[in-house]
Amino acid sequence: MISVNDDQDLHFRKAEFDPENCPIDCSRPCEIVCPANAISLQEEALKELSQVAGVSGVLKGGVITERCYGCGRCSPVCPYDKINLVTYVRDAATTVKLIKRGDVDALEIHTNGRQTTYFQELWDKLGDSSKYLRLVAVSLPNIDRDLTVTTMKTMFAIMESQLHSLNLWQLDGRPMSGDIGRGATRETIAFAAQLALSNDRPPGFLQLAGGTNFHTVDGLKKERLFQSASTIKNSTIEELSSSSNALIGGIAYGGYARKIVGRVLSSMQTQNGDANIEDYPDYLLAALVEALTLVGTVKCYDPSLISSAKS
């Protein structure tokens, strides 16, 4: 899957700053709050300057771009206001080339849901590349109950004539917050419950994102919004994608998944440096167990699989 955006979006930004502009005695709260360990600062001595200007050194390093996913938590905690959040829009022409070349067969479109004209422009630029896709997912935040459904219907109408695959609506309840704590999932579940009241939703599977964590499945079950294994087994794809009785068919774990798997990666790197997890089977198995524990309830895996993997 490849992700694109039709306008400025939280998921398409990176933190940037010049560490040499940071005071050497800064407590570096940005390093502490970063959930992706994407900020690394090291002090470098400058003996020639210390004799002239009383400067003992400068900070080097900064943001590790490959790890930063744009959560933005570093910016407000910077005591010197040195961190910028830079947004970007992924090039549609490049995306079309990747799709037609067969590199990807699923597309995720992030939209703020307020400007469907931007969505229309992006979809038009994608052109006939949509016929090469097996899935088109649209990720949007909660605007309000009536407007959200209206926007979804408008976007589906835009896509419909060129939609040759399954489609999915990703409900981004509280973006990039699943790793914060249990309460982060409440807004996401409230978003799902809100849409459950609408009988006028456009076709498409529904998936939760933003604020999803280990407590999300239990919350959905309490609201009777979780799609069970028996529902899947006894229903057709068309019935599942438009069902109001089994509303949520999937959960996307972003920040929370990074957090739990990141613990394994951090442990591996402490022992072995900057290495590939594929080269260390024990750590790879530990990461898979963590992932299976998280998605097992969604995929309806037998709990004994997790126990046997741990042993």
Q: pLDDT-based confidence at 154, cuts 50/70/90?
A: very high
Give tens-digit pLDDT for 181-213: 778 899 899 998 888 778 888 999 999 999 999
Minimum mean pLDDT range among 36-40, 242-246, 294-298: 242-246
Q: Which tens digit of pLDDT belongs to each residue from 219-272?
A: 988 888 876 554 445 555 555 455 444 478 889 998 888 888 888 988 998 899
pTM: 0.81
Residue with tokens 């900020």: 39
Q: What pLDDT score does 86 carry? A: 92
Name the H helices within 127-228: 145-160, 185-196, 216-222
Average pLDDT along the chain: 84
Helix (H, G, I), strand (E, B) or coil at 62: strand
CA angle 254, 257, 262 (to 5 degrees): 120
Question: Mapping DSSP to helix (H, G, I), strand (E, B) and coil, where does residue 206 land?
Answer: strand
Answer whether residue 55 shows pLDDT above 60: no
Nearest to 195 by CA among 171, 220, 221, 174: 171
∠ at Cα 228 (260, 206), nearest 5°? 70
Helices 281-299, 255-272: axis angle to 10 degrees equals 170
Higher pLDDT, 140 or 237: 140
Architecture of the domain made up of 18-82: 2-Layer Sandwich (3.30)
What are the phi and psi torsion angles at 168 (to 5°)? -140, 140
Residue ranges of domains in the chain: 2-8+89-248, 18-82, 255-310
